[in-house]
Structure 1
Amino acid sequence: MSSAAVGVTGDESVLVARLSLEEKVRLLTGANSWVLHGEPAIGLRPIVMSDGPAGVRGIRYDATNPSTSLPCPVALGATWDPELIEELTTALGREARSKGVDVVLGPTINIVRTPLSGRGFECFSEDPLLTSRIAVAYVRGVQKAGVGATAKHYVANDSETERRTYDARISEGVLREVYLAPFEACVAEAGVFLIMAAYNSVNGATMTANAPLVRGVLKGEWEFTGAVVSDWSATTSTIASAVGGLDLVMPGPEGPWGEKLV
């Protein structure tokens, strides 16, 4: 998704320099549950986000606004067919555009550690290589249609039990070989637009304020230039999350950022 697609033309750095601190900060938190603030002064229109991984829900939840239901993601993984997945998700991206959606909040690329996981169906596989191949195809398809994709939930958010509070203690080798691998592939091979920071902690630091994994690995080592968005209501700090590499707090307009950053 390009700057022009959301109404911005010209050098973004020059346009942002025209905004006051308060106007800049306003752009860092949602306007509501699914829409980001626009900024008429620089031609930026509101940006619309929508779930989800198995079909574009849109922001109107009624029978007059139906959505095409794709096979659930674990079934997509079972195809072992990246080319087919890219075709399917290109169609998903086109449907998103028809609904006025700019960003799809998928794919979910966590690892299925147990068949009892409540959201295992929303992931592709228990295997990091297969997950990576299907995830890259998914992201390419959505973004080919001019819609941003979101790789989530960064990282190790692989259990529904206490998913908002648990601390995943993972060795460096396992973290990189298993849990981080699909995210790295989406960044390096598909140019994914957003990464969603998860609720949980990893090795003692909550993912919305995990500087080693967000600033260090994601933005530093992998040179990710997209936006890191919090999972909904996952951000529990102001300073730690801001300096830790988080770019966008959702939902809004209330939250730990806003005026507290000024």
Structure 2
Amino acid sequence: MTKSAVIDPEAILKQLTSEEKIALLSGDDMWHTVPVPRLGVPRVRCSDSPNGVRGTAWTNGAPASCFPSATGLGASMDVNLAHRIGEALGEECRARGVHCLLGPTTNCQRHPCGGRGFESFSEDPYLCGHVALAWVQGVQSKKVMTSESVDFLANEQEYLRRSNNSVIDERTMHEVYLEPFRIQNKAKPSVFMSSYN
């Protein structure tokens, strides 16, 4: 990764056209954001991170280190290990030219039919939050952005793989579903991915 100038997001936002703002929301392709050369905004490369740095290919990509699944890491209850794994992931990102690692999945595990449950650390909000906090701190210590993934809030189960209707009362939402994100946010993750639901 080359060293780039520091960007003032507020100043840039004021200068972006509506078309440029929309383009930044949708991306250039599956793994890259759209650059805005006239304002010095570079193209950002992202990569999936369920248990390693995938790169920019869904299949048959470059070999990568395979780390324990998030569930395995959560079962260790070892936040120091989560931090060290985060550091290793950050180093792999830098070696692969990845600027933003799409993770961690901070949602709690709630139902065995969640196809991406292995990406979540635990069914306990406190444990999820603290393991995610350490993981994010580790990755970001290597100057790599993280994005709470797959979704911010209420993606703990699914129906027919790609749908669900999460109906949650306010108290439960705060005490169970928002709590891991609240804890993780102490690390100041760079990006939030919005919810599917």
Aligned equivalent of 2:165: 167
Instruction: Could you list the structure 1 runs, at least 4 aligned residues long, displaced by more than 3 angstroms after superposition.
Output: 7-25, 60-64, 162-165
Aligned equivalent of 1:102: 99
Tell me the CA shift for residue 85 of structure 1.
Answer: 0.8
Give ranges in structure 2 of 5+ residues lacking alignment: none
Letter in 2 for 1:36: T
Please point out which of 28, 33, 41 is paired with 2:25.
Answer: 28
Letter in 1 for 2:114: S
Aligned equivalent of 1:234: none
TM-score (ref. length: structure 2): 0.89
Aligned equivalent of 1:193: 190
Aligned equivalent of 1:158: 156
CA–CA distance in 2 between the matches of 1:16 and 1:117? 37
CA–CA distance in 1 between the matches of 2:133 and 2:30? 27
Contact 1:55 1:67 in 2 (8 A): yes
- Per-residue CA deviation, residues 217-242 of structure 1 (Å, 9 max, x unaligned), is xxxxxxxxxxxxxxxxxxxxxxxxxx
Superposed, 1:235-246 pairs within 5 Å as: none
Q: Is structure 2 residue 149 aligned with structure 1 residue 145?
A: no
CA–CA distance in 1 between the matches of 2:135 and 2:115? 22
Percent of aligned positions that are identical: 38
Change (3 A) 1:118 1:23: closer
Alignment RMSD: 2.2
CA–CA distance in 2 between the matches of 1:112 and 1:34? 26
Please point out which of 29, 40, 43 is paired with 1:43.
Answer: 40
Which structure is higher in strand share? 1
Tell me the CA shift for residue 26 of structure 1.
Answer: 2.8
TM-score (ref. length: structure 1): 0.68
- Per-residue CA deviation, residues 106-127 of structure 1 (Å, 9 max, x unaligned), is 1111111134432221111111
- Per-residue CA deviation, residues 5-40 of structure 1 (Å, 9 max, x unaligned), is 5x3446444445444443344333201111001122
Change (3 A) 1:160 1:15: closer
Aligned equivalent of 2:177: 179
Contact 1:110 1:179 in 2 (8 A): yes
Change (3 A) 1:10 1:48: closer
Change (3 A) 1:61 1:9: same
